[in-house]
Chain A
Amino acid sequence: MLKVIGILLIAAAILWKEVPPLLEKKDKKELVVFSILLTIGVGLSMALGLGKPIPNPLDFLTFVFKPIHDVFVR
């Protein structure tokens, strides 16, 4: 639980630091991308903090490059 609170506090600090300038400049697009990324970041850190399994992007790459690898190595 402590970890979750810590992550949320950090996220709040980031929001507090980053959002006002974006609102001021009225950069809507930036704000949207920023929010999405921050959500992913917070989500992933919480999953890690709570010991939930996180899908490994490398396994996806291995899947994609496996055929190429097999062609070259053989």
Chain B
Amino acid sequence: MMQNAKISTYQFLILVTLFTIGTSILIVPSGLAAKAKHDAWIVAIVGMVIGLVVIGLFCLIAQWFPHLTFIQMNEMILGKWLGKGVSLLFVFMSFIYASSLLFYSGTFLNTHLLPNTPMASLNILMAIIIVMGVHLGLETIARSAEIFILVFFVLFFFLVLFISPEVKFENVQPIFEAGTKTVIQSTFPFIEVTSVNAIVLLMFFPVNVNNRKQASKSFFIGYIIGGIVIIIFTFLSVSVLGAYSTAAEVFPSYELAKRINIGDFIQRIEALMAGLWIIALYFKTTIYFYASVLGIAQILNLKDYRPLIVPLGMIAAVLSLVIYPNVVYQQNWNQTTGIFLSFSIGVFLPLLLVAVYAIRKKQLKKAPESS
């Protein structure tokens, strides 16, 4: 059924990059600066390095059964019922995140660009294009990502170029004041959004990637590119806005775009720059949504996942309006519950799989041939 879709390793790399940047671009600088102050960018670097280990874990798991998605793998390794139970949690997580990302795009537009527009209409519009994307399939999503990544990096390049005169190095000094403990502590949210949640990529990696050997490599490269973009954003936010404002702003990177002023001529271009956030958010949400739709179809052993897209899109749009009563609840929830949810699905579950696989190795080796 859906195994037929094939994307190239390059397309996969782009999807990984966009997934890594996704929400992080909006919220990570603020979260990091709240704890690590002006050392936020160091935290981002450390977080990226640790994140590579997590990505390594995913690649390790993926290569055991290159023709199975994560859901099927759970069933294969943990047995039918336990596997289905765990998969259900996984699907639940990615579905919740899909609607929470819808909420992000809604609040972002609502706070900065369209304050009088009801959030419901913004979310529904976004949900419609996501549903369309998933309906057209993974190949179409990957191809459009290939086009939009160019737009993204052109905008990104100009943003960095135009904001660089505003950089004040005093704002990041003294370097490494936070100390090792604070740095390590504050990396967790960063690892969560950038790498741990990337477990949903296992829904089409390496199954739908045409060159499976190269795919792991592009997973790493894509992650590193995305990580560097976020490190640059964090550094710019702290050095231009200062640690306090970065932490106080809800969307510091947008504030960054507001500060652009080249000779009183190139200024007030933040609305254009908003394209950056919308592109990244769109692809991350689509991947989450794709993973949850495909996941449900596979748990229930359906032949086709397409009939489920529209009803689920409807539910996601409604949930996006309900799950977070306000921004403060969202920030609080992310810190207390979201991070544990992500870590148990994205780190604990893979480690469990590794342990069970090591025990059942011989038994499992025979299984694929017989099935």
A22, A34, A40, A58: the one contacting B333 at CB < 8 Å is A58
Classify the interface of chain B: helix, strand, loop or mixed.
helix
The reply to whether A56 and B315 form a contact with Cβ atoms under 8 Å apart is: no
Considering the complex, which residues of chain A in the window 15-32 have a beta carbon less than 8 Å from any beta carbon of chain B?
Answer: 17-18, 22, 27, 29-31
**What are the 9 closest A-B residue pairs judged by CB atoms, nearest first?**
A41-B314, A37-B311, A38-B311, A44-B318, A34-B307, A65-B340, A41-B311, A65-B337, A62-B337
Is residue B304 contacting chain A, with contact meaning CB distance below 8 A?
A: yes
A48 to B303, Cβ gap below 8 A?
no
In the assembled complex, the Cα of A49 lies from the Cα of B129 at a distance in Å of 21
* Interface of chain B residues 120 through 161 with chain A (CB within 8 A): 120
- The one of B92, B301, B310, B318 that contacts A14, using a Cβ cutoff of 8 Å: B310
Q: Is A42 an interface residue (CB 8 A)?
A: yes
Q: How far is the CB of B308 from chain A (nearest CB, A)?
A: 6
- A7, B325: Cα distance in complex, Å: 23
Footprint of A on B, CB under 8 Å?
92, 96, 120, 296, 300-304, 307-308, 310-312, 314-315, 317-319, 321-325, 333, 336-337, 340-341, 344
Residues on A with beta carbons closer than 8 Å to the beta carbon of B314 = 10, 14, 38, 41-42, 44-45
Partner of B322, one of A17, A18, A37, A56: A56
Given contacts A30-B304, A41-B312, A56-B322, 8 further A-B contacts (CB under 8 A): A14-B310, A29-B303, A38-B311, A41-B314, A48-B318, A58-B96, A65-B341, A72-B340
Q: Can you list 30 A-B pairs, Cβ within 8 angstroms, ordered by A?
A: A17-B310, A18-B307, A22-B307, A27-B302, A29-B301, A30-B307, A33-B296, A33-B308, A34-B311, A38-B311, A38-B314, A40-B315, A41-B312, A41-B314, A41-B315, A42-B314, A44-B318, A44-B319, A48-B120, A48-B321, A54-B318, A57-B323, A58-B96, A58-B324, A61-B96, A61-B341, A62-B333, A65-B337, A69-B337, A69-B340
Closest to B318 in A: A44
A52 to chain B, nearest CB (A): 11
State how many angstroms separate the Cβ of B105 from the closest Cβ of chain A: 18
Report the bound CA distance from A14 to B92 in whole Å: 24
Cβ B308 vs Cβ A34 within 8 A: yes
Chain A residues whose C-beta falls within 8 Å of the C-beta of B310 in the assembled complex: 14, 17-18, 38
Majority-rule SS of A interface residues: helix
Measured CB to CB, the closest approach of chain A to B162, in angstroms, equals: 38
With both beta carbons as reference points, the residue of chain A lying nearest to B324 in the complex is identified as A58
> How large, as a class, is the contact surface on chain A?
20 to 34
Complex CA–CA separation, A65 to B323 (angstroms): 16
A37 and B337 contacting across the interface, CB-CB below 8 Å = no
- Chain A residues with Cβ under 8 A from B333's Cβ? 58, 62
- Residue contact B323 to A33, C-beta cutoff 8 Å: no
